[in-house]
Amino acid sequence: MNGVNRQAVVQACKALLRPVAGFLLKCGMTWKEFAEISKAVFVDVAGEEYGIRGRKTNVSRVSILTGISRKEVKRQRELLTAGQPPLPNKTTDATRLLSGWYQDPDFIDPAGKPLVLPLEGDGASFATLWQRYGGDVPVSTMLKELERVGVVKQSSDGSLQVVNRYYMPVQFDAQWLLNAGSVFRDLGENINHNLSAGDETPSRFLGRATNHSIEESHWPEFREFLESEGEEFLEKVDDWLTEHQVADDESNGRVRRYIRLGAGLFLIKGESPDDTK
């Protein structure tokens, strides 16, 4: 990397991936699924943003940039063109077990619905299902986790009923997930833009105000302060944007180029480097 401290890049990568990993783990995504998706994104970004003289990057250069073989670059491009996401190599043991409960003929009724299972037994039982699909996670641990997240319910007689075929440690509304992804993208694109900003592409505002020596007892007060002041600031931003928004009847047939503008504001809370103060 020309003029770039590789160790600094590695540390920055770890820092930005921590919240991403936390977000995806809450959604039940494994690291192998993430790796497969990230491969497609690397190919897409390298192809769209690193071409020469405005042309799309060719397969060989994408391979050099990403470290992905030319054959795999071609495959990923075909998937991207077809609009098909790459299939994950491995799901979690929990998701695999739940899928077996919904798909394996030994654990579904004649109508194709998952059976209510006893905990143990030689035939169709949760113990048998676990032996077939549970991986190396102990059966008791697996059951507790599935009950904790609400995808398996136990009746008074001890029988077990499955209510969802997918394992998601934390349940989220789909629109909330999409909004969260949009926030990650906005912040990330701002940072990425500023790395290469110059005279022709001025940097975008990106600032923080933090202090590592605040007593934890002040946290609720600061939260209320930011809720109030932050809302007032964002209302001013919204007023400005509304004032400059072009109404449909103002175009007068002229071709206009529209862009998305806005500002984001978020609270920062974390551990102090020295929490003994």
| Tens digits of residue pLDDT in 82-104 | 875 544 444 578 888 998 999 89
Percentage with pLDDT > 90 across the chain: 38
Average pLDDT on 181-193 reads 87
What angle, 0 to 180 degrees and rounded to 10, lies between the N-to-C axes of helices 70-82 and 59-66? 110
pLDDT surpassing 60 at residue 276: no
- Those residues whose C-beta lies under 8 Å from the C-beta of residue 69, and which sit 6 or more positions away, are 63
pLDDT of residue 226: 93
Least confident of 4-13, 27-36, 168-177: 168-177
Question: In this structure, what DSSP letter does residue 140 have?
Answer: H
Domain 93-162 has CATH 1.10.10: yes
Count of CB atoms within 10 A of residue 95's CB?
21
Pull the structure tokens for residue 177: 């997930």
User: Greater confidence, 142 or 179?
Assistant: 142
Q: Which of the two residues, 75 and 175, has the higher pLDDT score?
A: 75
Residue 107's pLDDT is what?
95
| Residue ranges with strand state E in the chain | 152-154, 160-162
Top pLDDT among 164 and 140 is at 140
Q: What confidence category does residue 32 fall into, taking pLDDT thresholds of 50, 70 and 90?
A: confident
